[in-house]
Chains A and B, each alone.
Chain A
């Protein structure tokens, strides 16, 4: 039977071209997003954008609302109010279409441990409807140094190896929006640096917007073009992670983080 699907390389180029045609839309647009549970407000009317090719750091202390925000963007938590658009597609109205443009990796969402690396990638490739999945999986196994582990069950991999598998799954569908929740948390410094470089390259080459959460301020400075500082469900600060400390009288980003985490209200008042 004649295969009408384009060659993988041609399909990739066409996808990139289509994205550039569609560049009027940011990778992610969040407007007045709010999540409340009874009396608790976890996210309090935040608005922000992630542009294509941009890496945005989502920072904040534990309980600030980062994971709640990410879960809402991933469509696994309904917002109480507000609007989420992934590549211009309204998540509430066209959930499946919008989520086809996104993907994620998180330390708390390991892939099924009872499937091998290759089986997991094939399973998710089908879920995302990826064409030429064998070639795509082969390329990702090479890219993330997983080829030797392809027939190993994910449950017996080291945490660093599991992170690489999760990242391979996260870029399977060449997402326009990639959400990474502490993606290098369990990697050694060398592996973490390699992964950071690959992700930066991915943002540039594939015109992909990345929302990155991390508690490693060195990493945030190295990777992120812009950071959003979240506390008690609100965005307190936004800016270039390399310039923000000086702008707010702190020596380092970590010192600024600690100050904002301890005195969020005074910091908020300062930005008004």
Chain B
């Protein structure tokens, strides 16, 4: 029986991998997701056949089913109700629950083991540490995104790094205590308590714009915690799946860091970009050079454009403007213009956020272009329309080696014939530096609030005929 269960786990793991392979193209992705779900169903069903579960009382089985129903109902409710703009919050919560589940499963396994091996105790300590950090770190990340208590601002306090180091050393000490005396349940809870505090203190200093990195990293942690739990239970399915998720999170973290021109350390410590760098002041860059345009003037420029590239940023998500932007794109297309979207990897609050929002608004995915793909085309573009983005279109990244964003991959919108920047004000983005694009000869600033400004622009275009 055990052999059969283990073979089924192997099949489940293969189905997970095939599911992820499906995600390599939007056409095959829905099937990939179903294949993954099938793998999970298989894993759960064969676990019910496990000797330990079969021999448990009816009460045990009832408990299992009721817990699945409760969790499943909460999950389904979240999945169906969540707004696409709030997807980062949802993923933050799921990361946290993954970490929490690992802490509890590893802790229970430590209690139940009759003669815990060194492998079990060390893996349990690892699971408690990483899982605890993941759970509480994710709750803080969720709160920052949802803006309940913390308004997305980095929170700094004195001796932050010293405190974190002490917490980490303390947690390791508890881990050693567990390894030396596996019956010491108090040591496990002590470890989890310190890891929990560490999760909070590690996430507090991370600012709103760095959230894509934080979420990707916590995603990776939740996988690592699951893999550690796999070593606790000597279970291949958990080890394989945890490694896949851990690898996925690490890859996304690396992509996000590179796109923001930050080292992972720099993000984790919550430093601003280029702290201590002094560039030109905003006054020197903008004074007398910024041309502000009305909706009618912008409509005139757009009305005669043959090729338009729209570059959305977090501002579009905040004002829920994706549907209005889609209407604008459709209107321009009906007038004969070719319209495409240029998506920067860190636009939004999580990897891929802009793509989901525009897909929700029925923009076909073949119009959503990656940065590397669209950049070569700006020179043949009549109008680049920037909506609520700033640092990712700052040409200083290319031209000024002393700039804090030097070398950061940006959208080369400044190479388009005309650039229209839709923005609330000239306030700086996460890098805290002025953007010479706003003062460039070929740039028109269209000041306004996301969705309202787009709607006004649509009205002006229709009026102009």
Task: Say whether A and B bind each other.
Answer: no
